């Protein structure tokens, strides 16, 4: 536990992550801060996404909005996986409805060599924001996060979101040495980003490898896992570490083996099947399909009950969605899901 964090180890999220017995199943939502909340849309009006991530007052306010509204068991820092790249001075933007767009994609070894080293001086606004956040959170943990090297590399090489990741895979397999340098530099960047968050008071971290599911298991293990592992071991044991990707049914064991405490599972894999693969050494997180939040309440309730019952097989379960909250989600439904999870699992 970071000395700056006020969250107690008995906070349900931290207890579940450490495979102890929480007072009830903890719940938070990936992308809980964002366009589903009217108060977010209001405060973001006229402020660019990445600019809002660099203003401590806005970061703190937006991070706290879903905690106040939904009674979730953790806050997640309002930022973005590409923020450290922006802080390094790369010419990139987050385009609404599209995602990160990079002006000069990385296409050669020389481009890779030009990527600079991230230091704490680049991201002082993050530590400042976390100070404001933990002061208000009290016992509720703050989750810090970073992008995993593969997902970051895909944005950098493709120049933006990609369906097939073809340039990324071609680069990875054609020039393994330049790939090694690229993923090493990105590992170092994400490590500095995560350690700064922990030092400032985050009490858990999540490594997002959102697009790892595009890879075969063999290529994941050869070209990606060693770099994510390097981040996990550099972050160390001070806080529990969550590792998440989408479409990773066949990668769960490899992702766990990078040094995670908690494995995030998308909605395609039932949690009892994930636990059968992972055994008793890892807690799991997930996995309500974010699209199900658009169905009738009776459907949502049945799905929440199914997931809680399948999750009970794991040595620790953190309830979440299988991926992020979709922008048109009714926020009142999220609040009801939190209350339902708490009600069904409190002793
Ligand atoms: O989860 C949270 O509430 C914390 C904040 C958070 C954001 N991005 C804020 C955000 C986190 C953890 C992320 C991580 C992130 N960013 C990932 C990994 C998680 C995942 O979704 O798989 C990825 C792939 C990105 C890159 C990214 N940033 C995308 C694909 C988009 C969506 C573009 C769009 O407009 O649909 C973003 C933008 C973004 N990041 C928004 C938010 C709240 C929306 C921007 C806005 O409101 O204008």
* 143 contacts 264 by C-beta, under 8 angstroms: no
Among residues 318, 337, 241, 248, which one has the least CA distance to residue 36?
Answer: 337
Q: What is the pLDDT of residues 168-201, one digit of tens each?
A: 999 999 999 999 999 999 999 999 999 999 999 9
Q: What pLDDT, on the 0 to 100 scale, is given for residue 4?
A: 62
Q: Could you confirm whether domain 48-285 is CATH 3.90.1280.10? A: no
Phi, psi of 92 (to 5 degrees): -145, 155
Give the gyration radius of the chain's Cα atoms: 19
CA of 254 to the centre of ligand 1 (A): 25
Phi, psi of 5 (to 5 degrees): -85, 140
* 242 contacts 232 by C-beta, under 8 angstroms: no
Q: What pLDDT, on the 0 to 100 scale, is given for residue 3?
A: 53
CA of 49 to the centre of ligand 1 (A): 10
Q: What is the pLDDT of residues 101-159, one digit of tens each?
A: 999 999 999 999 999 999 999 999 999 999 999 999 999 999 999 999 999 999 999 99
Q: What is the pLDDT of residues 54-78, one digit of tens each?
A: 999 999 999 999 999 999 999 999 9
Cβ atoms < 10 Å from Cβ of 146: 29
> Residue 151 CA: which ligand 1 atom is closest?
24
- Residues taking part in catalysis: 31, 35, 44, 80, 155
Nearest CA to ligand 1 atom 5: 78
> Residue 206 CA: which ligand 1 atom is closest?
12
Enter the pTM of the model.
0.97
CA of 80 to the centre of ligand 1 (A): 6
Give residue 1's pLDDT band: very low, low, confident or very high (50, 70, 90). Answer: very low
Phi, psi of 25 (to 5 degrees): -70, 120
- Give the binding-site residues of ligand 1, using a 6 Å CB cut-off: 30-35, 44, 49, 76, 78-81, 94, 96-100, 145, 161, 208, 210, 324
């Amino acid at each position: 536990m970071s000395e700056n964090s006020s969250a107690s180890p008995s906070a349900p999220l931290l207890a579940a992550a450490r495979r102890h017995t929480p007072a009830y199943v903890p719940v938070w939502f990936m992308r809980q801060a964002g366009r589903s909340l009217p108060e977010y849309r209001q405060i973001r009006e006229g402020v660019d996404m990445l600019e809002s991530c660099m203003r401590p007052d806005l970061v703190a306010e937006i991070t706290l909005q879903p905690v106040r509204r939904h009674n979730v068991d953790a806050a997640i820092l309002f930022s973005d996986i590409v923020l450290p790249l922006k802080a390094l001075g790369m010419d990139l933007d987050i385009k609404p409805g599209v995602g990160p767009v990079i002006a000069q994609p990385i296409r050669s070894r020389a481009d890779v060599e030009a990527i600079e080293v991230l230091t704490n001086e680049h991201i002082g606004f993050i530590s400042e924001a976390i100070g404001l956040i933990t002061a208000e959170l009290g016992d509720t943990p703050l989750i810090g996060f970073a992008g995993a090297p593969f997902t970051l590399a895909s944005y950098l090489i493709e120049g933006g979101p990609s369906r097939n990741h073809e340039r990324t895979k071609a680069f990875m397999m054609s020039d393994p040495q330049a790939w090694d340098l690229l993923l090493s530099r990105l590992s170092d960047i994400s490590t500095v980003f995560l350690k700064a968050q922990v030092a400032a008071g985050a009490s858990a971290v999540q490594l997002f490898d959102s697009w790892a599911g595009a890879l075969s298991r063999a290529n994941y293990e050869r070209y990606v896992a060693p770099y994510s592992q390097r981040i996990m071991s550099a972050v160390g044991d001070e806080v529990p570490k969550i590792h998440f990707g989408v479409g990773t049914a066949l990668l769960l064991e490899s992702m766990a083996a990078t040094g995670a405490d908690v494995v995030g599972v998308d909605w395609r894999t039932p949690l009892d099947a994930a636990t059968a693969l992972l055994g008793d050494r890892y807690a799991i997180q997930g996995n309500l399909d974010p699209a199900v939040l658009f169905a009738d309440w009776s459907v949502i309730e049945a799905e929440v009950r199914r997931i809680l019952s399948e999750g009970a097989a794991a040595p620790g379960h953190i309830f979440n969605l299988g991926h992020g909250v979709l922008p048109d989600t009714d926020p009142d439904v999220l609040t009801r899901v939190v209350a339902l999870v708490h009600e069904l699992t409190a002793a």
